[in-house]
Amino acid sequence: MRIIDTHIHFGNQKSCENIVQNSLYRNVYKLYNSVNVTALSSFDDYVKNLDSFIVMPMVFKETDINEANNDIINYFNDNLRAVPVLLVPDDKDFDNNFRIMKYNILKEHFLVHDYNDYKDRSLGYQYLSDNQGFLILHSLSTISKQYIETLRSEYPNMNIIVAHLGRNGQCDEQFTKDMIDFGSKDDRIYTDISSISNKGLIKYAVDRYGEDRIFFGSDYPYFSNDITPVEEQTLILQNIDLSDEQRDKILYSNAKKMIKKLRIR
């Protein structure tokens, strides 16, 4: 089975473990308790059976964007299967980050990027719009729709991947459906199924978005079960009433086309 995982996080196990154990935010954001830090030690073994993977830095409140971006490029510089994704830098740091970009895709996360400060990151968004690149972002609350509409209006050629089908931190089903309905109406908005175990929501997304704008993702290393995230998400997808062609597009073909277009040559 051909699989491209479009939502993998990577970080140094020791530093991540230190943050998880000592962070002032560990009881505020549940991701501090859901990340399987020890899994990072077996990262290379974890991805060995993937055709390719899109990988981004682990993100905590304590994350230094420039440091994280340099680390992920350095680690994956010679890995031909990896698509390293930088966190969106502030405008003052854009030039230095632009020099190390390998693909026209950036990641935004609410822990290190405030919606209200998006103008401070305008160079990154404008660059993606000029190059028809992709921004991966999380939805957080009802303000997410307005925020995404603002980005799409001001940077009209920038594509947006709304991670996790658009779920919020509480994984509220109706909120997720509303985000699916919202995103599916715009041809430049895509989504991924990372961390979604609700088969009904995935089928709902396929029915609304169509199978061409949905990517497979695991959200590694955010898991607590014995089974790995890729295995878990693949089994979920296998148990949904989809055609073989639809599954292949979600698991592989959609991401393959995107990666081919986004490589900086």
Strand partners, 105: 134
Single-letter residue type at 141: S
Is residue 129 very low, low, confident or very high in pLDDT (cuts 50, 70, 90)?
Answer: very high
Is residue 205 very low, low, confident or very high in pLDDT (cuts 50, 70, 90)?
Answer: very high
Q: What is residue 227's predicted lDDT score, i.e. its pLDDT? A: 83
pLDDT at 117 over 90: yes
Give Cα 162 to chain centroid, integer Å: 8
Average pLDDT over residues 57-65: 97
Distances (CA, A) of 147 to 11, 70, 184: 28, 28, 16
CA angle in degrees (0–180, nearest 5) for 2-6-7: 130
**pTM of this prediction exceeds 0.85:** yes
pLDDT at 194 over 90: yes
pLDDT at 187 over 80: yes
Q: Domains plus CATH for the chain?
A: 4-262 (3.20.20.140)
Between CA 75 and CA 84 the distance in angstroms is: 9
Q: What is the mean pLDDT of the chain?
A: 95
Give the start-end residues of each E strand in 73-211: 82-84, 86-87, 105-107, 134-137, 159-162, 189-192
Is residue 48 very low, low, confident or very high in pLDDT (cuts 50, 70, 90)?
Answer: very high
pLDDT at 58 over 80: yes
Query: DSSP assignment of 187-208, as one string?
Result: TTEEEE-TT---HHHHHHHHHH
Between CA 145 and CA 43 the distance in angstroms is: 34
Single-letter residue type at 14: K
